[in-house]
Amino acid sequence: MVTAKPDQLSSAIPGIENMLYEYGGEGFPRVRRVRADLMAAVPAICPERALLITESYRETEGQPMVLRRAKALERILANMSIFIEKDQLIVGNQAGQVRAAPIFPEYSIDWVIEELDRFDQRSGDVFAISEDTKEKLRGIQAFWQGKTHQEAVYADISETNMAAQRQNVIHRGGISMSGDGHIIPNHEKVLALGYRGLQKQVQENLQRDDLTEEQRDFYQAAEISLGAAIHFARRYAELAEEMARQESDPQRKAELEQIAAVNRRIFEGKAQSFHEALQVVYYCHLIMMIESNGHSFSFGRFDQYVYPYYQADIEAGRLTNPQALELITLFFIKLNSLNKVRPWDHTEFGVGYPLYSNLMVGGMKADGTDGTNPVTYLSLRAMDLTRLPEPNLSVRYWAGSPRALLNESARLIREGFGMPSLFADETVIPAMMSIGLPEEVARDYASMGCVEVAIPGRWGHRATGMTYINFGKILEIVLNNGTDPASGIQLMSVNGQSGREVHFNSYDEVWEAWKKFLKFYTDLAVESDAICDRHLKVFDADPFGSSLVDKSIERGKTLKNGGGEFDFVSQSTIGTSIIGDALAVVRKLVFDDQSVTFEQLRAALDANWEGAENQKIRKLALAVPKFGNDEDYVDEIVADVYDSYLDLLPGYHNARYGQGPIGCGYTMSTSNISSYVPYGMDVGATPDGRYAGQPVNEGASPCLGADKQGPTAVLKSVSKLPNQRMAGGQLLNMKFSPNVLKGDDNLEKFIALLEANRLLGNFHIQFNIVDSAELRDARLHPEKHPNLMVRVAGYCALFTSLIPEVQDAIIARTEQQGL
């Protein structure tokens, strides 16, 4: 059982020391029942949304796309199946059954049809699908031919860009075949005004006589979308009333009547209670997911904007702390009822049914004071009760954070299900300021998705996750004179010659070639981003989601057209640490020690280190210092790799540049979800000693098994990176044996490690506290470990839902045995 000492928390939450927090604790039987029902639900494919949007689009041919999407959303919300789960107090479903994933044919349809017979045969992210659903989806395919976002993107992509994709350097993923997502609404504003208040603002703007056609279309679409959302809630009110009339249990009857009352008045004005506040926040999230099949629809600083409603109810005697905890816990469980299906080749880049819905608590407020409050602690307790992947819970901490916050975070991490991750304000705030944000604005950051950061309610779509760039593959191509050994494609060369043969006379020549090729492929990635953005402006027009973010209503623009106040994006850069390790080997063995020629090293790579002589070279390579061990020789090279990319970014702008938002530039992020595994499959042997096909490194973490000197050495290596320039997010994953954190003394040492991470100037840290033997057993006997949750990358997932290659990568991470 996780317990809190009274002197730590009672001052923040009176009576909390007497509550039960262990999952299964008798204090919350409803939570156990609702969670059990959720876990019993089988992920499935739901055709309802696809059929309804097809009906709507047939009727609105020729109309502006933003209006077509608004009318489609109206049709979907008015006609989709709705239900209220047994025992739940938070209502709203995305599809026809719990954990079902809707289909979004307007973005892409061909892959859906191609994979219909394979959804239930996958090695990860499996979806049940009925023959009736297959037939319904096949029946709409013809309508969508030539009308999807994916088709428009690929008709626009240059041959050079496609060749880079075939080299496996560039991966467009979601931005080429799904919605954009990555929004943090202004929840505080929505809670204060309701959708009716937002709709009134839209209607007032619609009366202006200076509107452009684009603005008029947006306002009309926003009015329709907000009205549709209000009607959607009323449908649940009517359903709850009908269920209440038929309910024989007095307690449940009263609950259903309360649900009906909440949903009747919920959007007409200011939220009236803590329960209403949670329901409003959930509806914002749910309807954005129905409108668009993006992901990373996030909750921002949850404890800041719901606290006033908690406080008012507590002070008025309408709410107790156990009731508040139960409501938050039910809200968390409800988020796991939602789902998304992706094509298999993209699923490999983010496996585990992830939605990346980040919810952040704690940290400094805009005025420089600490924002920790009772809802902060209740959120941590709710996560302990649910132990499910959503929301992706993160904690901000700084010198002014109360000791109790670190204690509670450490205790929860020790439980071993990967949450919370932690963000150090003293590093993240300067990183946000490095792209020009005022300090007061930067202090209000929150994570949007995995570890990317944005300003809630003031940011455009996504802070990261544009085109993925495989750094490992770029280095392999450099070492082969611009030729990809796997595909044979050569788009440029080191020496001006065709073919793989190349010779380097110095490490400086290797480094200059790296920078040259990095710019070439980054240019292509930015070109790819621009093409995808150009078509997302049309196909992902989102009048509902945009209305929840500041400036969109004022400007009369969707976020993709420049509706956000701030707008910075980042690509996903994969393999930074392995490039540093590999270049360190080239520098030391070939040029410093001259113990191996470049030709001998490359021959060993071509042979995948097979053969006695090549194994000798590999042994030498493995002895060269590796990132994660506090060795300046290699750490400085890894930092150079970061700088080589960061130095390129001022020359790039995104598609909203000059269209209204502040910034519209690029930042850097190492948030790369599980892509380090499939991208590693595409990269041959690398000079650091890695075999072909093995994963590259994840985030800013050391390469698998490379860190040998303990956790402090890892933190010190990461501290040498340009963390205060990583405005897109910097990810560090660590794994500990559970024995390391047992007992109060070890927990204190772990808290000291967290403080050291902050004081060293690192951006972020997250943990797996799990025995590798348990992971191996779960790999072989998944039925014995249905609740085993792990930290995959910037998100958590149930271990048994992962593809085998990702499971193996998590098992292979260094398991720290001491503090």
Region 271-297: what's the mean pLDDT?
96
Q: Residue 673: its pLDDT value, please? A: 77
Q: Residue 2: its pLDDT value, please? A: 29
- Amino acid present at 210: D
Q: Give the residue extent of every domain in the chain.
A: 44-171, 172-181+448-730
Regarding beta strands 421-424 and 764-769, do their DSSP bridges make them parallel or antiparallel, or are they unpaired?
antiparallel
674: confidence class by pLDDT, cuts 50, 70, 90 = confident
SS3 content of the chain, % helix, strand, coil (to 5): 50, 10, 40
411: confidence class by pLDDT, cuts 50, 70, 90 = very high
Separation in Å, CA 164 to CA 161, 467, 654: 5, 12, 20
424-433, 587-596, 809-818, range with the lowest pLDDT: 809-818
The residue assigned the tokens 């202090």 is 443
- Burial grade of 111 (CB within 10 A; 0-12, 13-18, 19 or more): middle
Region 201-206: what's the mean pLDDT?
97
The residue assigned the tokens 């926003």 is 222
Mean pLDDT (the chain) is 93
CB of 495 within 8 A of CB of 481? Answer: yes
CA 245, CA 257: separation in Å to the nearest integer?
A: 9
Regarding beta strands 662-667 and 566-570, do their DSSP bridges make them parallel or antiparallel, or are they unpaired?
parallel
Cis ω before 391 (30° cut-off from 0): yes
Separation in Å, CA 16 to CA 13, 270, 307: 6, 29, 16
Q: Residue 24: its pLDDT value, please? A: 38
- Say if residue 110's pLDDT is above 50: yes
Region 299-309: what's the mean pLDDT?
98
CB atoms within 10 A of CB 46: 24
13: confidence class by pLDDT, cuts 50, 70, 90 = low
Which of the four CATH numbers 3.20.70.20, 3.90.950.20, 2.30.40.10, 1.10.3720.10 does domain 172-181+448-730 have? 3.20.70.20
9-18, 140-149, 642-651, range with the lowest pLDDT: 9-18
- One-character DSSP codes across 208-258: -SS--HHHHHHHHHHHHHHHHHHHHHHHHHHHHHHHHHH--SHHHHHHHHH
Q: Could you read off the pLDDT of 330-352 as tens digits, one per residue?
A: 999 999 999 999 998 888 777 88
Q: Could you read off the pLDDT of 220-248 as tens digits, one per residue?
A: 999 999 999 999 999 999 999 999 999 99
- Say if residue 4's pLDDT is above 70: no
677: confidence class by pLDDT, cuts 50, 70, 90 = confident
Separation in Å, CA 367 to CA 192, 465, 476: 21, 30, 48
- Say if residue 734's pLDDT is above 80: yes
| Helix or strand (DSSP H, E) at 663 | strand 662-667
18: confidence class by pLDDT, cuts 50, 70, 90 = very low
620 or 782, which is more confident: 620
Cα-based angle 135, 140, 141 (whole degrees, multiple of 5): 95
77-91, 304-318, 457-471, 709-723, range with the lowest pLDDT: 457-471
- Say if residue 766's pLDDT is above 90: yes
Q: Residue 12: its pLDDT value, please? A: 53
Q: What dihedral angle (degrees, nearest 10) is formed by the CA atoms of 377, 448, 363, 642?
A: 130
Cβ neighbors of 480 (< 8 A, separation 6 or more) are 500, 502, 602
24-33, 192-201, 295-304, range with the lowest pLDDT: 24-33
- Amino acid present at 805: E
pTM score over 0.75: yes
CA 642, CA 576: separation in Å to the nearest integer?
A: 7
Q: Residue 818: its pLDDT value, please? A: 72
Q: Residue 797: its pLDDT value, please? A: 81
CB atoms within 10 A of CB 348: 23
- Say if residue 538's pLDDT is above 80: yes
- Burial grade of 1 (CB within 10 A; 0-12, 13-18, 19 or more): exposed
Q: Residue 790: its pLDDT value, please? A: 86
CA 735, CA 394: separation in Å to the nearest integer?
A: 17
Q: Residue 815: its pLDDT value, please? A: 80
Region 542-548: what's the mean pLDDT?
98
- Say if residue 8's pLDDT is above 80: no
Q: Could you read off the pLDDT of 188-200 as tens digits, one per residue?
A: 999 999 999 999 9
The residue assigned the tokens 């080239």 is 586
Q: Residue 26: its pLDDT value, please? A: 55
789: confidence class by pLDDT, cuts 50, 70, 90 = confident
- The alpha carbons of the chain give a radius of gyration, in whole angstroms, of 26
Tell me which residue of 90, 100, 85 sits closest to 34, measured CA to CA.
Answer: 85
Q: Residue 193: its pLDDT value, please? A: 97
- Burial grade of 659 (CB within 10 A; 0-12, 13-18, 19 or more): middle
Reported residue count of the chain is 819
Q: Residue 5: its pLDDT value, please? A: 35
CA 815, CA 734: separation in Å to the nearest integer?
A: 8
Tell me which residue of 343, 168, 174, 296 sits closest to 696, measured CA to CA.
Answer: 168
Q: Where are the strands (E) in 109-211, listed by range?
A: 170-171
